[in-house]
Amino acid sequence: MINKKSDITAQYYCIGKIRAKQQDKKARALMAKQQALATRLQKDGFTIQFGYLLKSDNHYHEKGVDVQLAVNIVKDAHENRYNIAYLISSDSDLTPAIIEAQRIGKTICYVGFKHKISYALLKICRKSHLLTRDDLLPFIK
């Protein structure tokens, strides 16, 4: 989140935590990569918040991540910690939190991907920025 001087006041990274049994090499490799990313982000000033992963029908779904993000949006808005929050998520479950933050005068900028737009967030947020592959290429090794 950024205040009106464009100072970064908070950076949150919310994700479902990967857990792995000792014998599951693939899951352990994924867990190690997630831990490395979390460590890197923490060094860059991010607050890491973990939800959990729930397996159903052989697919994993993040649980609790949207709630953490919604609480951050609303709490920080009420504590006047930002004027503009840049939301990099496509989860329309965040709509009530966005509405509340905007109701008290905050601006939420939806940052999404041009190839996979959340039209619900695009509609509800006061600002938006859609990233293209070309925007991301300088950051990909």
Model confidence over 68-106: pLDDT tens digits? Answer: 999 999 999 999 999 999 999 999 999 999 999 999 999
Domain layout of the chain by residue ranges? 12-139
Residue 1: pLDDT band by 50, 70, 90 thresholds? low
pLDDT at 24: 85
Mean pLDDT score, 112-121: 94
Tell me what pLDDT residue 5 has.
59
Which of the following CATH numbers is that of domain 12-139: 2.40.100.10, 3.40.190.10, 3.40.50.1010, 3.40.50.2300?
Answer: 3.40.50.1010
If you average pLDDT over residues 118-127, what whole number do you get?
Answer: 96
Which pLDDT value is given to residue 21?
84
**pLDDT for the residue numbered 4:** 55
Long-range CB contact pairs, 22-25, < 8 A, 24+: none
Length of the chain: 141
Q: Quick one: average pLDDT of 96-125?
A: 96
Q: From the centroid of its chain, how far is CA 10?
A: 12
List Cβ neighbours of 85 (8 Å cut-off, separation of 6 or more): 1, 2, 73, 76, 77, 101, 106, 107, 108, 109
How confident is residue 119, by pLDDT bands cut at 50, 70 and 90?
very high
Entry pTM:
0.81
Q: What is the pLDDT of residues 6-54, one digit of tens each?
A: 677 889 999 999 888 888 898 899 999 999 999 999 999 999 999 988 8
